[in-house]
């Protein structure tokens, strides 16, 4: 292929014309035409299932569009395979990392280059890699195995890898979900700089309006496979963008925060030590108190011990040391204590951590109470009719969309699984609520519903511990914000006084 | 108490025994390392070992060329490996179940076709006499080392080098550690795994040829005592590192040589107990390495037992 662009502007322009992709009865993408000018920073907005990834997979050659064409620098391009996309210069930075954990940074970069020489001349490669890193705006240590990198470094390495492969059209899929606010701004700012210099073109999938307004030139919004709007970012308000994304669906307004609900109730974590899967310390000397009628949000970059902390509290992982007290009495993660202290939880990935995939919705909803009256007699004689009746009530009250109470819960959408779990956990008298990443990957309507339910539990006097990687969620819901870094609580601030920059610094461990 | 001379005899006998007994372990372990590095487990290498032993013996008997027997054993191992690799590449097939099935299959056809070769004597692979300088007959005998042992060492070092310094080596590690990354880079994981299983099966076949052509050096149905299975444990102990496979194989070999060595100085009490040493060692190692975080860390991420 001839070099179409002028030598100093190496960025590629790309246009899709009438892209349509049909999977059986499902129209995943319906007549989408977007135009990404060379050297621009283009945002692709949409909820889960709006067709963003289908569009991108068509561009990358993973899927063949049912109809529609792709123009690269104005000329029609056929992209039958991912390798063809790579040859054109289109590279993808995936949300799930595609780095090989056991290989070092250098090995990952060299192997990605896909050339044919069987023996690798490490001396020459190392020299070339060092020279490459010197030209880049951010760097990652070459000798470290990828498994030892932080999430932020991995994300940077993913981007570096595409640049190393000489890709001039980068597609980024939610690139900042694992970064601290500071790192996110840094990485996006540097990419923005490279687009302005005409080095690369960026197409970024996101749902964060803040990033769109701060870094993108233009935006396209998808909803249910259709292109519902777009244009220069300077001409669009955040409100207009969110209306385009959500459409006519009714979103529950945020639950008002009731005052004066604080109580003497207290959840107290004292000197908790928890190990990770490899026996290394994940949580160290962690102390935290949560009062009744209060939401304490634990912010932190993924992998700083938050999952281990939640698993230890909910009994999925042994506590190495330390005690948990509720109202001064020791709490163990046993069924008896859960019931006695009225402790409930919404763990992350509810389908994995809070439900049995192949059991029915009714059975899953009955987990808390299946062996107690009225659902059971004598402690062991179960009454399925009672279970179904109770499940039907809760399904209606929490608006769970399911064909019947007897559907296996794995057939429900993510939002509805979370609602079913919510129904089970919040329909009783809740004193302590442990919540972890409750809205991850859910649509706007479900997110609003779930956040409102959490605040409602607080308003009823429950002590709520909210662990989330979504800083916006923490700031929106918390009465107090705690920051977790390296397995410890490194900062606590009242929610009203918490600000993004300070929290970001503590999250990065720089403060 | 054991007199000093007897202790020396035992140690020399264990050294010789370690080198002798370790060779089949080494080949099977290297083969299994290649296969597991690609993200698949082949538990059926015991079948490759036994079939390799039988094929090698038969070919050596008919042609009088023991090295042709070794090549035949390699080829037989390749075929069984190809069978395993191909079947496991079908959707929803469990590699562990297939491995056990193919182990029975390999042993079964080896016994079936091997019946006529139990009696006759085939030419053996002669060892290299490396102990001529010594006047000690026990040491001379211990240093009668089979060339296959050295072939195993060369393969181990070459494999260790290739895993770090060649593109196929990196692709093998990548496929075993993260299938999505391999796919994203345009590597076909199915092909890599089939190739790795085929090659691993072939090496296990060579290990079998050592059993029938060198030590013990005859073909019968009780020839292998589970070396092919123990070598799988050995790979975990060696943390998927070919050089550590050599040390681990020597350790298992020494454990296997303990019983005969003690018998050679007249200690026959507890003979069966000492003969069970490799099995006890296997059990101990499995328990110890299952608890070790380091081993869990070194395991290729795509292995079905790790996931």
**Per the CB < 8 Å rule, is B167 touching A102?**
no
Taking 70 as the threshold, does the pLDDT of residue A5 lie above it? Answer: no
Of A92, A103, A114, nearest to B173 by CB-CB distance is A103
Taking 70 as the threshold, does the pLDDT of residue A486 lie above it? Answer: yes
Task: Compute φ and ψ for A41, nearest 5 degrees.
Answer: -115, 105
**Per the CB < 8 Å rule, is B178 touching A279?**
no
Q: For residue A3, what pLDDT band results from cuts at 50, 70 and 90? A: very low
| pTM attached to this predicted model | 0.77
Mean pLDDT for the stretch of residues A159-163 = 90
Answer whether A456's CB lies under 8 Å from A255's CB: yes
| Portion 169-198 of B in contact with A at CB < 8 A | 170-171, 173-174, 177-178, 180-182, 184-186
> What whole-number distance in Å separates Cα of residue B220 and Cα of residue B114?
8
Please tell me if residue B241 touches chain A, with a CB cutoff of 8 Å.
Answer: no
pLDDT in tens, B235-244: 988 889 999 9
A-chain residue closest to B294, CA distance: A278
Mean pLDDT for the stretch of residues A225-248 = 88
Which carries the bigger pLDDT value, residue B52 or residue A349? B52
Q: For residue A219, what pLDDT band results from cuts at 50, 70 and 90? A: very high
Mean pLDDT for the stretch of residues A42-59 = 88
Of A199-203, A423-427, B130-134, B155-159, where does mean pLDDT reach its minimum? Answer: B130-134
pLDDT in tens, A322-341: 999 999 999 998 889 999 99
Q: For residue B25, what pLDDT band results from cuts at 50, 70 and 90? A: very high
Pairing assessment for the beta strands A432-436 and A463-467 based on DSSP bridges: parallel
Neighbours of A35 (CB within 10 A): 15
Q: Which residues of A touch B171 (CB under 8 A)?
A: 111
pLDDT of residue A16: 94
**Residue tagged 């929610």 (tokens):** A495
> What whole-number distance in Å separates Cα of residue A442 and Cα of residue B73?
57
Measure the CA angle with vertex B89, ends B84 and B94; round to 5°: 70
Neighbours of B82 (CB within 10 A): 16
**Per the CB < 8 Å rule, is A101 touching B301?**
yes
pLDDT in tens, B246-280: 999 999 888 888 888 888 788 878 888 888 888 88
Tokens representing A277? 């899967």
Taking 60 as the threshold, does the pLDDT of residue B193 lie above it? Answer: yes
pLDDT of residue A1: 39
> What whole-number distance in Å separates Cα of residue A393 and Cα of residue B58?
75
Q: How far is A190 from chain B (nearest CA, A)?
A: 25
Please tell me if residue B295 touches chain A, with a CB cutoff of 8 Å.
Answer: no
**Per the CB < 8 Å rule, is B186 touching A116?**
no
**Per the CB < 8 Å rule, is B167 touching A99?**
no
Mean pLDDT for the stretch of residues A57-77 = 92
**What ipTM was predicted for this assembly?**
0.82
pLDDT in tens, A186-199: 889 989 999 999 98
> What whole-number distance in Å separates Cα of residue B26 and Cα of residue B75?
18
Of A346-355, B204-213, B261-270, where does mean pLDDT reach its minimum? Answer: B261-270
Q: Which residues of A touch B293 (CB under 8 A)?
A: 277-280
Domains of chain B with CATH codes: 4-306 (1.10.3470)
Please tell me if residue B120 touches chain A, with a CB cutoff of 8 Å.
Answer: no
> What whole-number distance in Å separates Cα of residue A167 and Cα of residue B229?
47
Mean pLDDT for the stretch of residues A38-63 = 89
My answer on whether omega of the bond before B216 falls inside 30° of 0, hence cis, is: yes
Mean pLDDT for the stretch of residues A131-151 = 85
Task: Look up the CATH number of domain A263-342+431-441+463-511.
Answer: 3.40.50.300
Of A103, A118, A279, nearest to B166 by CB-CB distance is A118
Residues of chain A with CATH 3.40.50.300: 14-246, 263-342+431-441+463-511
Answer whether B174's CB lies under 8 Å from B181's CB: yes
Answer positive or negative: Cα dihedral of A191, A195, A201, A207. positive
- The mean pLDDT of chain A is 88
Of A151, A196, A195, the closest CA to residue A174 belongs to A151
Task: Using alpha carbons, list the distances in angstroms from residue A146 to A230, B170, B246.
Answer: 38, 14, 28
pLDDT of residue B158: 97
Taking 70 as the threshold, does the pLDDT of residue A355 lie above it? Answer: yes
**Per the CB < 8 Å rule, is A107 touching B167?**
no
Per cent of chain A over pLDDT 90 is 48
Q: How far is B169 from chain A (nearest CA, A)?
A: 9
Taking 60 as the threshold, does the pLDDT of residue A476 lie above it? Answer: yes
> What whole-number distance in Å separates Cα of residue A112 and Cα of residue A58?
21
Of A81, A107, A278, nearest to B297 by CB-CB distance is A278
Q: How far is A2 from chain B (nearest CA, A)?
A: 24
Answer positive or negative: Cα dihedral of A358, A363, A366, A369. negative
Answer whether A427's CB lies under 8 Å from A394's CB: yes
pLDDT in tens, B98-149: 999 999 999 999 999 999 999 889 899 988 888 888 888 888 888 889 999 9
- The mean pLDDT of chain B is 89
Q: Which CATH superfamily is domain A14-246 in?
A: P-loop containing nucleotide triphosphate hydrolases (3.40.50.300)
> What whole-number distance in Å separates Cα of residue B286 and Cα of residue B273?
19
Which carries the bigger pLDDT value, residue B16 or residue A9? B16
Q: For residue B165, what pLDDT band results from cuts at 50, 70 and 90? A: very high
**A99, A100, A123: which to substitute to probe chain B, counting the most B Cβ within 10 Å?**
A100
Q: How far is B120 from chain A (nearest CA, A)?
A: 46
Please tell me if residue B39 touches chain A, with a CB cutoff of 8 Å.
Answer: no
């Amino acid at each position: 292929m001839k070099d179409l662009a002028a030598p100093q502007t190496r960025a590629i322009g790309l246009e899709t014309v009438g892209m349509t992709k049909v999977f059986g009865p499902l129209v995943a993408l319906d007549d989408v035409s977007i135009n990404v000018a060379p050297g621009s920073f283009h945002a692709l907005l949409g909820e889960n299932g709006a067709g963003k990834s289908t569009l991108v997979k068509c561009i990358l050659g993973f899927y063949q569009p049912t109809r529609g064409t792709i123009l690269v620098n104005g000329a029609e391009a056929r992209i039958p395979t991912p390798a063809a996309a790579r040859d054109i210069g289109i590279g993808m930075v995936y949300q799930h990392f595609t780095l090989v954990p056991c290989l070092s940074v250098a090995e990952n970069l060299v192997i990605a280059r896909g050339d044919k020489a069987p023996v690798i001349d490490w001396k020459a490669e190392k020299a070339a890699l060092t020279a490459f890193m010197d030209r880049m705006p951010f760097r990652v240590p070459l000798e470290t195995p990828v498994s030892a990198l932080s999430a932020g470094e991995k994300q940077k390495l993913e981007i570096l890898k595409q640049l190393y492969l000489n890709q001039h059209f980068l597609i980024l899929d939610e690139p900042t979900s694992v970064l601290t606010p500071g790192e996110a701004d840094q990485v996006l700012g540097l990419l923005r700089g490279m687009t302005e210099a005409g080095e690369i073109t960026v197409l970024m999938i996101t749902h964060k309006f803040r990033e769109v307004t701060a870094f993108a030139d233009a935006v396209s919004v998808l909803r249910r496979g259709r292109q519902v709007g777009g244009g220069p970012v300077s001409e669009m308000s955040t409100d207009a963008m969110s209306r385009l994304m959500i459409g006519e669906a009714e979103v529950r307004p945020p639950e008002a925060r009731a005052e004066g609900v604080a109580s003497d109730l207290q959840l107290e974590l004292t000197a908790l030590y928890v190990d990770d899967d490899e026996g290394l310390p994940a949580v160290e000397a962690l102390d935290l108190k949560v009062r009744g009628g209060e939401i304490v949000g634990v912010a932190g970059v993924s992998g700083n011990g938050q999952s281990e902390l939640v698993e230890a509290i909910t009994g999925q992982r042994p506590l190495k040391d330390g005690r948990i007290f509720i109202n001064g009495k020791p709490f163990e993660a046993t069924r008896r204590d859960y019931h006695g202290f009225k402790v409930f939880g919404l763990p992350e990935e509810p389908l994995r951590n809070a439900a049995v995939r192949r059991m029915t919705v009714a059975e899953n909803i009955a987990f808390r109470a299946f062996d107690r009256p009225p659902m059971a007699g004598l402690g062991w004689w179960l009454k399925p009719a009672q279970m179904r009746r109770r499940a039907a009530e809760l399904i209606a009250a929490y608006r769970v969309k399911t064909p019947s109470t007897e559907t296996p819960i794995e057939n429900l959408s993510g939002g509805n699984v979370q609602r079913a779990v919510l129904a089970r956990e919040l329909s009783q008298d809740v004193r302590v609520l442990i919540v972890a990443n409750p809205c991850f990957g859910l649509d706007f309507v479900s997110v609003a519903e779930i956040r409102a339910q959490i605040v409602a539990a607080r308003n009823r006097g429950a002590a709520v511990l909210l662990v989330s990687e979504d800083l916006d969620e923490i700031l929106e819901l918390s009465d107090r914000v705690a920051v977790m870094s390296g397995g410890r609580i490194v900062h606590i601030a009242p929610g009203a006084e918490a600000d993004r920059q300070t929290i970001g610094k503590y999250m990065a461990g720089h403060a | 108490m054991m007199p000093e001379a007897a202790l020396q005899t035992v140690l020399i006998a264990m050294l010789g025994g370690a080198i002798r007994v370790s060779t089949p372990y080494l080949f099977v372990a290297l083969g299994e390392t290649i296969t597991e590095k690609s993200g698949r487990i082949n538990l059926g290498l015991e079948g490759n070992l036994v079939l390799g032993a039988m094929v090698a013996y038969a070919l050596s008997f008919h042609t009088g060329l023991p090295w042709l027997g070794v090549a035949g054993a390699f080829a037989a191992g390749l075929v069984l490996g190809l069978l395993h690799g191909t079947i496991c590449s079908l959707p929803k097939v469990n590699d562990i179940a297939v491995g056990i099935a193919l182990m029975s299959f390999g042993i079964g056809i080896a016994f079936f076709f091997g019946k006529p070769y139990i009696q006759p004597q085939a030419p053996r692979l002669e060892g290299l006499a490396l102990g001529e300088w010594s006047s000690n007959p026990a040491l001379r005998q211990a240093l009668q080392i089979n060339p296959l042992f050295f072939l195993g060492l060369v393969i181990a070092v070459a494999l260790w080098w290739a895993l770090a310094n060649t593109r196929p080596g990196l692709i093998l590690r990548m496929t075993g550690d993260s299938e999505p990354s391999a796919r994203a880079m345009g590597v076909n994981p199915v092909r890599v795994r089939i190739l790795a299983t085929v090659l691993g099966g072939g090496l296990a076949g060579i290990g079998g040829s050592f059993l029938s052509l060198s030590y013990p050096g005859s073909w019968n149905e009780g020839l292998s005592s589970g070396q092919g299975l123990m070598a799988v444990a050995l790979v975990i102990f060696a943390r998927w590192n070919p050089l550590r496979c050599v040390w681990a194989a020597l350790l298992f070999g020494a454990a296997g040589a303990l019983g005969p060595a003690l018998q050679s100085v007249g200690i026959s009490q507890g003979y069966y107990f000492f003969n069970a040493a490799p099995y006890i060692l296997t059990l101990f190692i499995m328990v110890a390495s299952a608890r070790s975080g380091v081993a869990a860390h070194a395991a290729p991420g795509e292995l079905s037992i790790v996931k």
